[in-house]
């Protein structure tokens, strides 16, 4: 019997297809929030499925990076020129712009979709709408399966 796809399978599909079909999406990945069971240990964003150049940023505190900003503001963050944004944590020297979209499960942010482009200002209104839709697919999947 075939086993049902996991949320990891869904995320792997999404990052692969986004990078394959959208040439300006050069690095595409998910970060999920990991909460510690130990008191006083802050939650952290942990890198999940991704495509693109390997990154040293596999664990990001919520008070760091564009990635942290999307969680703490609770909203999509679009940065047209990453090198002029003091929050930016560099992964690839080729990256010029970035979009980060929170993923919600029953209203609570549980992770995010992060995309880097080698083009400056690569992400507009259509990208925002589309990426928010992709993030919603993952959130709804989590709601149905966990
Ligand atoms: N640039 C991100 C870090 C993750 S890499 O883009 C893959 C940030 O500033 O949070």
Q: Is the pLDDT of residue 1 over 80?
A: no
Calculate what percentage of the chain has a pLDDT beyond 70: 100
Residue 66 maps to a domain: yes
- Name the DSSP class of 39: T
Q: Which pLDDT tens digit goes with each residue over 48-85?
A: 999 999 999 999 999 999 999 999 999 999 999 999 99
Residue 51 maps to a domain: yes
- What CATH number is associated with residue 28? 3.30.450.40
Q: How high is the pLDDT of residue 68?
A: 98
For residue 98, give the nearest of 109, 108, 84, 110 by alpha carbon.
84
Q: How far apart are CA 13 and CA 1, in angstroms?
A: 21
Q: Ligand 1 within 6 A of 92 CB?
A: no
Q: Which pLDDT tens digit goes with each residue over 26-49?
A: 999 999 999 999 999 999 999 999
Give Cα 122 to chain centroid, integer Å.
Answer: 16
Q: Ligand 1 within 6 A of 65 CB?
A: yes
Residue 108 maps to a domain: yes
Give the distance (Å) from ligand 1 centre to CA of residue 3: 33
Q: Ligand 1 within 6 A of 85 CB?
A: no
The residues, ordered by sequence, that sit 6+ positions from 68 with a Cβ below 8 Å of its Cβ are 45, 60, 61, 62, 87
**Segments forming the whole domain that contains residue 68:** 7-145
Residue 1 maps to a domain: no
Total domains in the chain come to 1
Q: Which pLDDT tens digit goes with each residue over 120-139?
A: 999 999 999 999 999 999 99
Q: How high is the pLDDT of residue 98?
A: 98
Indicate the helix (H) or strand (E) that contains 78. strand 77-79
Residue 37 maps to a domain: yes
**What is the DSSP track for 123-143?**
--HHHHHHHHHHHHHHHHHHH
Q: Ligand 1 within 6 A of 49 CB?
A: no
């Amino acid at each position: 019997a075939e086993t049902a796809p996991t949320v990891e399978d869904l995320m792997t599909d999404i990052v692969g297809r986004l990078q394959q079909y959208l040439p300006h999406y050069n690095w595409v990945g998910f970060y999920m929030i990991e909460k510690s069971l130990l008191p006083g240990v802050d939650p952290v964003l942990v890198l999940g499925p991704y495509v693109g150049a390997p990154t040293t940023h596999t664990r990001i505190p919520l008070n760091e990076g564009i990635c942290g900003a999307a969680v703490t503001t609770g909203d999509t963050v679009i940065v047209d020129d990453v090198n002029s944004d003091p929050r930016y944590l560099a992964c690839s020297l080729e990256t010029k712009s970035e979009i980060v979209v929170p993923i919600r499960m029953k209203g609570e942010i549980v992770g995010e979709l992060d995309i880097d482009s080698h083009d400056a200002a690569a992400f507009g209104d259509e990208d925002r709408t589309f990426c928010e839709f992709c993030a919603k697919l993952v959130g709804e999947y989590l709601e149905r399966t966990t």
